Amino acid sequence: MTDYKYVILVSMGEITLKGLNRGRFEARLTRNIKSAISTFGRFHIFQRQSRIWIEDLYSEQPVLDDSEVAGQIMRAVSKVFGIVSVSLVRKFTGDMDNIREMAIRFIEDRLKEQPFESFKFETKRGDKSFPLLSPEVSSELGGKVLERFPELRVDVNAPELVVFVEIRDAFYIYADKIYAHRGLPVGSSGKGLLMLSGGIDSPVAGYMMASRGMEIDAVYYHSFPYTSDQAKQKVVDLAKIISQYCGPIHLNIVNFTEIQKHLYQNSPQDMLTITMRRIMIRIAEKIALQSHCKAIITGESLGQVASQTIDAISLTNEVTSMPIFRPLIGVDKDYAVQIAREIGTFETSILPYEDCCTVFVAKHPQTKPQRKHMEHAERFLDIDDLVSQGLEGIERILIE
Amino acid sequence: MPEIAQLIETHLSSYCAFGNPGSLHRLGVSAMESYSNSRRRVASVLGAQSEEIIFTSGGTESINFAIRGYLEANPRKGKHVISTRTEHKATLAVLDYLSNHGHEVTYIGVDSAGEPNWLEVESAIRPDTALLTFTHVNNETGAILPVSKLVDIRNRINRSAVIHLDCVQSLGKLPLRPSKDGVELVSMSGHKIHAVKGVGAIYIKSGIRMQPLIIGGGQQGGLRSGTESTFLAEAFALALEKSYEQSDAAYLKLTHIHNDVSSVIQSFGGVILSPENGSKYILNAALPMFEAETLLHALEEHDIFISTVSACASKNKKASHVLAAMGIDKSLSRSAVRISFSRFSQAEDIEQINKALGEAIKRYAL
């Protein structure tokens, strides 16, 4: 009987389109996969022919033979950005006879798990010296399977089971693919500072930028006792959830109580939100520079609330020369909710601890603020002093 | 309460307490004796017969059982229920459920002190009124219901209507003798008298037919199935006895503390929302310079733990329905907090509250 072992096949997406930089992206992706599965054991992770392979480092104690653990590993890998799909694959060597035998065994095992009626084989030939062409291999295997299981039928258009056979340095056979989140490997596009609140949008914004390869740090403005410690814990929990995709996150918790109180007492009610946003961005910029972030990321969506109108956003932008990435700017709330559900942040985001106490929200905030309003609102504020107050006593938590 | 902790520890570590009161062997028999004894002790404190006491998991279950259990077992008594707008959510939710299932509920308004409008009660009672369900001491404001007034009116207009009292806040604090007071159903909770969370009781006047909420092995005369917990029952009994032993002294002490804390709050510009003649165990007040939750967190820094409205409903973030019914303005009720005292409160607590409030105002008032 042909001997085989289980390995994990990772298909890469967009990276394979990269030119001269491709090696750098692949190396980063390999590193990210390694850190995502480090808790499961030791693995040999390597890249060959546009694919990444994960094999047990110690073949005498194979972790991947345990289908439950292999499933957990695949799910962890599928959360790494830069991947199209992940599959558990049987790897073996030999010649066409071995491939035939393995194909029949594979079908036999699948029938035991779940009955099906139609199937097809799809062959890829990386080793062009192999004597048969890909379609020839597929049809040969299909024929052999039908001889052994006459109740089955081949359906090339809509089969219930597609069995993939790859002929490379060795032979590989598999059927299921866990589809992953695509994008680019985190760390391949620099680092951004996410303004994380307890709401639905900001974790999604962080996830979206991470999917474009950004490493993420985060900042949260805490106003105890106006906002509770539960609200802060909620932000920590959200950061934990998105770190599954983004990798480790440094969360900066700014003590915002005094600043917020000062703003409340010294600037006009209708401009309170925007004055506050401007201070937050100024503090964020300073934190970003200190932690080598090259952009600020927010969950703003055009027109969603008063501080997110085009006029308010323009005035907020003015306080920094750093790019502010707003991946949700043109996105409908329903769509943001849908992503939040998919990535698992939604249930935490809707817990009833408010991220910004209602006392600081004006009843009728200015939705079309102009520069003269802003100048008027900030005229009694010692901005530099408020910013340095914010930078003092930041609590920094590493979340991974 | 150390006695309760001791009692539970003894129970959990003792071989004898392992028995299931339903078992026929001697361990079971001794467990049943202990359970029956707890029930007798509770009955004795309330001037009731021991068959009239059923242990439950707490106030909410007792209230659910009292209202639904009575109405479902006595469909011919009518489908009309009378209550007030200031009940606890445990009652309001049950009434809401019933009104969606064929019952009619009349809600009585209250005055600015939280007392029901008696003329409304009189005119609401009809021949088909099956149940009047009222709270003895309001959980948010401490307003005390003059039970005798309610009983008199019922006796005068429709004697066959049954009265259920939610006594979760009054048990162990105000005198309570259901049969003498003239009420048929009483709901009680253990944790409000320093027993533990997870135990409560209901008084059901003998002769009143009830439909059980929980059916199964037929424990507690078939009225509340589920293996009897000997240590919870005993904890409840002990806590109840202790509460009443000390209730007079506690009342005197708390009258001072309640008054002094009220003065402290007023000296900081606060408004007392509790009625003057209310329970001394509950003080509802508003400091308009704070949102209730801000003050809650600010005092938490000083290890003073207060509540915004009722703790059970506080996560809903809605203004208090009780204060709204008393005609308190929304701008004031958004600042309303509830300070609870117990017989373990000390005169020193007053100074601590004074200091903490002073600091909170200095640091966080807007």
pLDDT digits (tens, 9 = 90+) for A75-131: 999 999 999 999 999 999 999 999 999 999 999 999 999 999 999 999 999 888 999
CA distance B85 to A72: 53
Residues 6+ apart with CB under 8 A from B62: B56, B187, B188, B189, B200, B201, B202
From the list B294, B301, B316, which residue is nearest A226 (CB)? Answer: B294
Q: Give the contacts of B220 (CB within 8 A, at least 6 positions apart).
A: B54, B55, B228
Bridge partners (DSSP) listed for residue A194: A218, A297
d(CA B364, CA B68) in angstroms, rounded, equals 46
Three-class SS of chain B: CHHHHHHHHHHHHCCHHHCCCCCCCHHHHHHHHHHHHHHHHHHHHHCCCHHHEEEECCHHHHHHHHHHHHHHHCHHHCCEEEEECCCCHHHHHHHHHHHCCCCEEEEECECCCCCECHHHHHHHCCCCEEEEEEECECCCCCCECCHHHHHHHHHHHCCCCEEEEECCCCCCCCCCCHHHHCCCEEEEECHHHCCCCCCEEEEECCCCCCCCCCCCCCCHHHCCCCCCCHHHHHHHHHHHHHHHHCHHHHHHHHHHHHHHHHHHHHHCCCEECCCCCCCCCEEEEECCCCCHHHHHHHHHCCCCCCEECCCCCHHHCCCCHHHHHCCCCHHHHCCEEEEECCCCCCCHHHHHHHHHHHHHHHHHCC
Q: Is A228 on the interface with B (CB under 8 A)?
A: yes
CB contact under 8 A, B297 and A228: yes
Asked if the C-beta of A261 comes within 8 angstroms of chain B's C-beta atoms, the answer is yes
Cβ atoms of A219 and A187 within 8 Å: the answer is: no
C-beta separation of A148 from A164 below 8 A? no
* Tokens 């007040």 sit on residue: B285
A161-167 and A324-325 beta bridge pairing: unpaired
Which residues are A47's β-sheet partners?
A52
| pLDDT score at B127 | 96
- Residue A58 reports pLDDT greater than 90: no
CA separation for the pair B239, B255 (Å, rounded): 22
Which chain A positions have a beta carbon within 8 Å of B294's beta carbon?
A: 225-226, 357, 359
Cβ–Cβ of B291/A228 closer than 8 Å?
no
Q: Checking phi first, is residue B25 left (phi over 0); if not, alpha (psi -120 to 50) or beta? A: beta
Closest alpha carbon within chain B to A351:
B315
Q: Give the model's confidence band at B313: pLDDT under 50 very low, under 70 low, under 90 confident, else very high.
A: very low
pLDDT of residue B27: 84
Which of the two residues, A128 and B257, has the higher pLDDT score? Answer: B257
Q: Which residues of B touch A264 (CB under 8 A)?
A: 366
3-state secondary structure of A53: strand
- C-alpha to C-alpha distance for A122 and B220, rounded to whole angstroms: 68
How many angstroms separate the CA atoms of A70 and A16, rounded?
26
Reduce the DSSP state of residue A213 to 3 states and report it.
coil
- Strand (E) or helix (H) holding A222: strand A215-222
Please indicate whether residue A307 or residue A343 has the higher confidence score (pLDDT).
A343
pLDDT tens digit string along A238-290? 999 999 999 999 999 999 999 999 998 898 888 888 899 999 999 999 999 99
Average pLDDT, chain A: 91
pLDDT score at A74: 95
pLDDT tens readout for residues A344-355: 999 998 887 665
**What amino acid positions of B are annotated as catalytic residues?**
312
Statement: residue B41 has pLDDT above 50: yes
Do A225 and B291 lie within an 8 Å CB cutoff? no
- Judged by CB atoms closer than 8 Å, whether chains meet at A357 and B317 is answered as no
Within 10 angstroms of residue B339's Cβ, the number of other Cβ atoms is 23
Q: What does R_g of chain A's alpha carbons equal in angstroms?
A: 27
Question: Which residues pair with residue A218 across a beta bridge?
Answer: A194, A251
Residues in B touching A229 (Cβ below 8 Å): 297
Tell me if A225 and B317 make a contact (CB, 8 A cut-off).
Answer: no
Omega of the bond leading into A369 within 30 degrees of 0 (cis): no
Angle of helix A257-266 versus helix A383-391 axis, rounded to 10: 160
Residue B123 tokens, joined: 């005119």
From chain A, the residues in CB contact with B309 under 8 A are none
Q: pLDDT tens digits for A354-370?
A: 655 556 777 778 888 88
Topology alike, domains B2-245 and B247-364:
no
Q: Which residues of chain B have a CB within 8 Å of the CB of A222?
A: none
CA distance B168 to A128: 82
Which residues lie below 8 Å from residue B259, measured CB to CB, with a gap of 6+? none
Q: Establish if A225 touches chain B: CB-CB under 8 angstroms.
A: yes
Q: Judge: B297–A225 Cβ closer than 8 Å, yes or no.
A: yes
Using the beta-carbon criterion (under 8 Å), do B295 and A226 form an inter-chain contact? no
Contacts of A362 in chain B (CB under 8 A): none
Minimal CA separation from A272 to chain B, in Å: 14
* Identity of the residue in A228, A261, A265 whose CB atom sits nearest the CB atom of B293: A228
Which residue in A184, A216, A236 sits closest to A80, CA to CA? A184
pTM of the predicted model as reported, rounded to 2 decimal places: 0.79
**Tokens (6 digits) for A17:** 């389109």
The larger pLDDT score, comparing residue A184 to residue B153, is at B153
Amino acid at B260: D
Contacts of A354 in chain B (CB under 8 A): 317
- SS3 for A151-198 is CCEECCCCCCEEEEEEECCCEEEECCCEEEEECECCCCCCEEEEECCC
- Would you state the structure tokens that stand for residue B132, as one six-digit string? 């009047």
Burial class (CB in 10 A: 0-12, 13-18, 19+), A233: middle
A255 min Cα distance to partner chain B (Å): 14
Domain B2-245: which CATH number of 3.40.50.720, 3.30.70.20, 3.40.640.10, 3.50.50.60:
3.40.640.10
Shortest Cα–Cα distance, A256 to chain B (Å)? 12
Burial code of B127-143, b = ≥16 C-beta within 10 A, e = fewer? eebbbbbbbbbbbbbbb
pLDDT interval class at B331 (50, 70, 90): confident
Interface test with B, best of A232, A255, A266, A359 (most B CBs within 10 A): A359
Interface contact flag, A358 B291, Cβ < 8 Å: yes
Tracing tokens 């081949």 back to the chain, one arrives at: A154
Name A281's Cβ contacts closer than 8 Å, sequence gap at least 6: A296, A316, A319, A320, A324
Query: Are A225 and B315 in contact (CB < 8 Å)?
Result: no
Q: How confident is the model at residue B135 (pLDDT cuts 50, 70, 90)?
A: very high
Neighbours of A373 (CB within 10 A): 18
**Residue A365: CB partners within 8 Å, gap ≥ 6?**
A270, A271, A272, A273, A274, A306, A307
B215 C-beta neighbours (distance < 10 Å), count: 12
- In order of their start, the domains of chain A are 5-181 (3.30.2130.30), 191-399 (3.40.50.620)
pLDDT tens sequence across B79-103:
999 999 999 999 999 999 999 999 9
User: Which phi-psi region, left, alpha or beta, contains residue A45 (left: φ > 0; alpha: ψ -120 to 50)?
Assistant: beta
The minimal CB distance from B366 to the residues A224, A352, A359 is found for A359
Strand ranges of the sheet holding B129-135, from the earlier edge strand across to the other edge: B53-56, B200-204, B185-189, B162-166, B129-135, B80-84, B104-108
How high is the mean pLDDT of chain B? 93
- Segment B308-330 shows an average pLDDT of 75
Give the best residue of A226, A230, A351, A360 to mutate against chain B (max B CB count within 10 A).
A226
Taking CA–CA distances from A262, the nearest residue in chain B reads B366
Put simply, whether A350 touches B (Cβ < 8 Å) is no
**C-alpha span between B142 and A150 (Å, rounded):** 81
What does the alpha-carbon distance between residue A85 and residue A13 come to, in Å, rounded to a whole number?
Answer: 9
CB < 8 Å to A226, chain B: 291, 294, 297, 364
Q: Closest residue of B to A257, CA-based?
A: B364
Per CATH, domain B247-364 is 3.90.1150.10: yes
Q: In Å, how far is A388's CA from the nearest CA of chain B?
A: 20
Instruction: Give the per-residue pLDDT at A355.
Output: 52
What ranges do the domains of chain B cover? 2-245, 247-364
Establish if A363 touches chain B: CB-CB under 8 angstroms.
no
Is residue B118 predicted with pLDDT exceeding 50? yes
Count of CB pairs separated by less than 8 Å, A with B: 34
| Model ipTM value | 0.71
The string of pLDDT tens digits covering residues A206-241 is 999 999 999 999 999 999 998 888 889 999 999 999
Set of chain A residues whose Cβ sits within 8 Å of the Cβ of B301: 225
Q: What is the reported pLDDT for B312?
A: 47
